[in-house]
Amino acid sequence: MIRTEKVRLYPNQMMKKHLDELCDYRRYCWNQGLALWNDMYDESLIMDNKKLRPSERKVRNILVVEKADWQYALSARCLQLAISDLGKAWKNFFDKAQPDWGKPRFKSKKAPRQGFKTDRAKIINGKLRLDKPHGVNDWADIKMVGAKSLKGDLKVVSVFRENGKYWASLPLEVEIAKKSKTGKKTAVDINVGHFNYTEGKVNALPDHLKKLYKRIMHYQRQLARKRTVNGKKATQSNNYAKTRAKLQRDYRRVANIQHDIIQKFTTKLVTDYDKVVIEDLAVKQMQMSHVASKGLQRSLFGYFRQVLTYKCQWYGKELRLADQFYPSTQRCSQCGFIKTGTDKVGLDGNKLHHTKHNEYICYECGAVMDRDENAVQNLLALV
């Protein structure tokens, strides 16, 4: 299995300069390759000739032949890996089943995250060793913090800069021991701000996280007010830069807290249960509604499914996806009655029958249950 460790890098000023140059070069190679790929693709459509269609090999060879003098001072692998990723992006463009389906886009130098990839990195004495740049004699290994256990074969490493800090994603090919069988099964009902399962509820938006979101809203309003008053000159002021740094710091804290909650919860699921059932939700369509759209976005439904999927594969557990149209919320877990039409329970309850969002009242057998607990029992019946 490929297990990725995200670590924090602490380069010196000279290292930061060269890392920034590689980030810019990666973006340059991607944009040049994408422009060439678009031209070749359009030409093949106009000429109606499939032989003119672009490929990873064609685009890479043209860019290598047309390299400028300044490009020879930078890593050649940066260009080759950028075009390799571009080829994968174009391949996904022809597969509409991809979650973020769309045509590859150009990279912007204003994006908060910039990075590059290399397949020549090594881990030496707990430090990250990259290729020595041309003309630099005092190049050293980069100190890194955050890796728990770095064992296994190192694959293609991603180094990126985000909010003025440097990080590295280290994919390691390791052997993961299967977890022991428990003979138990569970179902997880995903809701706005919390996850319900057979043993109770896990809060995905605790109170201290809500305070951080309020602080983020405050910083966003400050920045918007500065841009409204000062226009384009606002971004050049020191106060604007300080406020933006505080905003980015709180966004990082929010991400760390939520990822920690989901990682611990998914680990508990694959440790205690052999079979797990979750819903296959159309999250993007649900976010189009004004009801709890922001809460849906903050609940990280997609990230939860992604983490649970690869952990079940790691540890030999079974993950089942309920059909998108399975009425887990509308079905009564006791008698099987399914609500339809105006009787349906929505995110804000049922206005016709004056029920709250967390209530489920069966009009067939008269059962009164918690809506989330009823959904968990319906999902559990699929195992």
Let me know the angle formed at the C-alpha of 364 by 361 and 367, rounded to the nearest 5 degrees.
Answer: 40
Pairing of β 185-187 and β 189-191: unpaired
Asked whether the CA dihedral 18, 23, 27, 33 is positive or negative, the reply is: positive
Tell me the average pLDDT across 233-243. 88
35-69: pLDDT as tens digits = 999 999 999 999 988 889 999 999 999 999 999 99
pLDDT band with cut points at 50, 70 and 90 for residue 191: confident
Classified as helix, coil or strand, 145 is strand
Helix (H) or strand (E) holding 117: strand 113-118
CA distances from 225 to 30, 209, 221, 239 (A): 35, 25, 6, 12
pLDDT band with cut points at 50, 70 and 90 for residue 274: very high
pLDDT band with cut points at 50, 70 and 90 for residue 10: very high
CB atoms near residue 67 (< 10 Å): 12
What pLDDT, on a 0 to 100 scale, did the predictor assign at position 58? 94
Q: Which pair of tokens denotes residue 168?
A: 């590295």
pLDDT band with cut points at 50, 70 and 90 for residue 289: low
Specify the pTM: 0.79
- Find out whether 286 and 299 touch, Cβ atoms under 8 Å: no
The region of weakest confidence among 125-139, 238-252, 294-308 is: 294-308
Query: Could you give the CA distance from residue 216 to residue 219 in angstroms, rounded to a whole number?
Result: 5
Query: Could you give the CA distance from residue 191 to residue 203 in angstroms, rounded to a whole number?
Result: 10
- pLDDT greater at residue 29 or residue 301: 29
What pLDDT, on a 0 to 100 scale, did the predictor assign at position 284? 63
Contacts of residue 201, Cβ cutoff 8 Å, sequence gap at least 6: 194, 195, 372
CB atoms near residue 186 (< 10 Å): 20
Query: Could you give the CA distance from residue 105 to residue 126 in angstroms, rounded to a whole number?
Result: 36
Query: Could you give the CA distance from residue 383 to residue 378 in angstroms, rounded to a whole number?
Result: 10
In the chain, alpha helices (H): 13-47, 56-65, 76-93, 207-230, 238-272, 283-287, 293-298, 301-315, 371-380
Query: For 332, what's the count of Cα atoms within 13 Å in the CB-facing half-sphere?
Result: 18
Distance in Å from the first CA to the final CA of the chain = 27
- Find out whether 320 and 382 touch, Cβ atoms under 8 Å: yes
Query: Could you give the CA distance from residue 355 to residue 348 in angstroms, rounded to a whole number?
Result: 9
- Residue ranges covered by each domain of the chain: 2-173, 185-322
Query: Could you give the CA distance from residue 339 to residue 361 in angstroms, rounded to a whole number?
Result: 10
Residue 76: closest CA among 90, 91, 65? 65
